[in-house]
Homo-oligomer: A and B are copies of this chain.
Amino acid sequence: MQRYKAILQYDGTNFSGFQLQAPQLRTIQGVIEKGLQKMSKGPRIIVYGASRTDAGVHALGQVIHFDYPTYLAPEKMRLALNSLMPLDVEIKEVQAVSNDFHARYAAHEKTYWYRVDRGKFVNPFKRFYTTHYPYPIDFSRIEIALKDVLGTHDFSSFAASGNQVKNPVRTITQAQANLDNQNQELSFYFTGDGFLYNQVRIMVAVLLEIGSKKRDLHDFLRLYQVKDRTQARWTAPASGLYLMKVHYLKKAAKSD
């Protein structure tokens, strides 16, 4: 038995998210487990992902691990697995790791990217890969508000309702925005030790409203206090969200 860690990218458009659900739903976990079973011709091989990305959410650097019955050279595993993947999933890297590595529990931080199309009309080539927000924004307001996102906060107001978490406190170590006028795109980057369900998409919706002067500049500070999901209102669409990178400490494979 050999444990493998793999880094993958996928176009989430035609998936019902990462996590295996009802068998008729197409999921990332499902297509990878199917591929592994085809290779091993044995019982089910469970795939564990660092992040359970939602339907329509993309990944440039999702991380998974799984236990394969025999040892295969990592590059061989990558070739074999890629040949069994549909065209919207690509295995970018494979490593043989020690048995105590866990894609999810060993993850130290994650980075998400959110792309906003600022064109007047929907760009046909970006319709599945960005969110269209053509309304006026004052970018400097977004930059100021992002400073309120940095640090350790109770994000209860930013967790999708219906999802009870024991601890809604998370630490955000990167909260940046970049305005690319040439491509009419606004990008957000968030790195943190964890994110509540839909947290990034709810934060982006609040940030865009602050930029459009529909909210106070420092509304994040109020939202941390009220701990009320309904006050954050909108959730930005899945199409603009990308899991960019999962960070592990150098000794992550040995820790948990």
Does A87 touch B at the CB level, under 8 Å?
Answer: yes
CB-defined contacts of A11 to chain B, threshold 8 Å: 124-125, 127
Out of B88, B121, B124, B125, name the residue touching A124 (CB < 8 Å). B88
Kindly state whether residue A10 has any CB partner on chain B within 8 Å: yes
- Residues of chain B within 8 A (CB-CB) of A127 are 11, 87-88
A221 close to chain B: CB less than 8 A? no
Q: Is A90 an interface residue (CB 8 A)?
A: yes
Q: A129 — which chain B residues lie within 8 A by C-beta?
A: 125
Does A82 interact with chain B (Cβ within 8 Å)?
yes
Residues of B within 8 A of A125 (CB): 9, 11, 58, 129
Residues on B with beta carbons closer than 8 Å to the beta carbon of A122: 87, 90
Which single residue of chain B is at the shortest CB-CB distance from A89? B124
Q: How far is the CA of A122 from the CA of B84 in the complex (A)?
A: 12
Q: How far is the CA of A121 from the CA of B89 in the complex (A)?
A: 10
Give per-residue flags for A74-106: 1 if the beta carbon is below 8 A from chain B beta carbons, else 0.
000000001000011111000000000000000
Q: Which residues of B contact A10 (CB under 8 A)?
A: 124
A8 to B43, CA, bound (A): 52
CB distance from A232 to the nearest CB of B (A): 27
CB neighbours of A123 from chain B (8 A): 9, 90
Q: Which residues of B contact A90 (CB under 8 A)?
A: 121-124
Tell me the bound Cα distance from A123 to B85 in angstroms. Answer: 12
Would you give the shortest CB distance from A170 to chain B, in whole angstroms?
29
Chain B, Cβ-Cβ closest to A125: B11
Offer 18 A-B interface pairs, CB within 8 angstroms, sorted by A.
A9-B123, A9-B124, A9-B125, A10-B124, A11-B124, A58-B125, A82-B121, A87-B122, A87-B127, A88-B124, A88-B127, A89-B124, A90-B121, A90-B122, A90-B123, A90-B124, A91-B121, A125-B129
Residues of chain A whose beta carbon lies under 8 Å from any beta carbon of chain B? 9-11, 58, 82, 87-91, 121-125, 127, 129
Besides A11-B125, A58-B125, 5 other A-B contacts (C-beta < 8 A)? A9-B124, A11-B127, A87-B122, A88-B127, A90-B123
